[in-house]
Amino acid sequence: MAFFTVIIPLYNKEKYIKNAIESVLDQTFTDFEILVIDDFSSDKSAVIASKFESEKVQLIYHEKNCGLSTTRNSGIKKANSNYITFLDADDLWKPTFLESIFQLIQNFPEARIFGTNYEEIWDTVIKNPRNGSEILPINFTGYINFFKINVKQGIYNHGSICFHKEVYEKVGFYNEKINFSEDLDFNIRANYNFKLAYTNSIQMRYFMQTENQLTQSSLLNKTIPDFDTYENWEKTNSDLKKYLDFERYVLGKRLKKNNDLRWKKMIATIDSRNLNWKQNVLLKMPSLVLNTLDKLKLFLLKLGIKTSTY
């Protein structure tokens, strides 16, 4: 029984999967198994991944394309360890990622969620996320309130996180009806019920502009989380309410940019006091202006300048 199970969802990432798997095999902490779940790729992704098959690396095939939630759930159900981690096929771990997670597990026994910081790769530009980690000491390691600090970019992403199996046993799996931002829905359930131990150490490289990346796609015809599901929880947890209002802002603005009328319902219950003045102004802008600002933001990134409303 390995200490960690590493789940790599794979769908049409032939240019990246080799490096992703190698970044796991190069870990300083070596007690792990890798489950590559191929979600019916139509390129050479599965062929490339199959070259790594061994006692340590197993390739599991879907007979049809099922989506990210189902792919992750397939891996969880096949996992042979108590600690489950994920790495998208187009991202990379630093060599000490698993070692850092292991230390969190040893030092913070009350936690069942363990995360690290990460860095963003925008083509040739490397940037630190504006995710709340900047208010923590550089060498911070400890428990954090996910909902209180996580009102910018994600304090972790799903390539820099580890969950104990108990989390899935209590809160369930990824919602397979959601095919955009399913991570958000799961994070709410997980962090509402369990403690998060976190290190500010950057242990993962998150590539922001790769091919077939869901986070860059349109929301049209996508099923997104219904944050109103957690209405009773947010009534008694002001940190959760603020977090959900921030996520309503993020998704509402994106829906508006896609001229998707669901944006009106998404932002209807936002308490404007939970957003800053920039965010409140942006929500009132037309889609044409919002899309123009996005283009300007990408142009500035190419110059090494990162702008944000956070």
The whole-number average pLDDT for the span 249-266 is 96
CB of 111 within 8 A of CB of 143? yes
pLDDT in tens, 125-144: 888 999 999 999 999 999 99
pLDDT at residue 73 greater than cutoff 60? yes
The 10s digit of each residue's pLDDT in 135-177 is 999 999 999 999 999 999 999 999 999 999 999 999 999 999 9
How does the average pLDDT of the chain come out, rounded? Answer: 95
pLDDT score of 275? 97
155-192 CB burial, b ≥16 within 10 A, e <16: bbbbbbbbbbeebbeebeebbbebbbbbbbbbbbbbbe
pLDDT score of 8 = 98
Is the pLDDT score of 253 beyond 80? yes
Query: Average pLDDT in the 34-56 region?
Result: 98
pLDDT, position 212: 57
pLDDT of residue 306: 83
Instruction: Give me the pLDDT at residue 213, please.
Output: 54
What would the pLDDT profile of 210-246 be if each residue is shown by its tens digit?
655 555 567 888 999 999 999 999 999 999 999 999 9
Residue 292 has pLDDT above 90, yes or no: yes
Give the Cβ contact number of residue 149 at 10 Å: 18
Q: From residue 222, give the alpha-carbon distance in Å to each of 116, 178, 215, 251, 307.
A: 29, 8, 12, 12, 27
Q: Check pLDDT > 70 for residue 203.
A: yes
Q: What is the DSSP letter of 214?
A: G
Pure H helices in the chain: 17-25, 45-50, 68-78, 97-107, 146-149, 165-171, 182-193, 231-235, 238-257, 262-267, 277-283, 287-302
pLDDT at position 264: 97
| Average pLDDT for 263-287 | 96
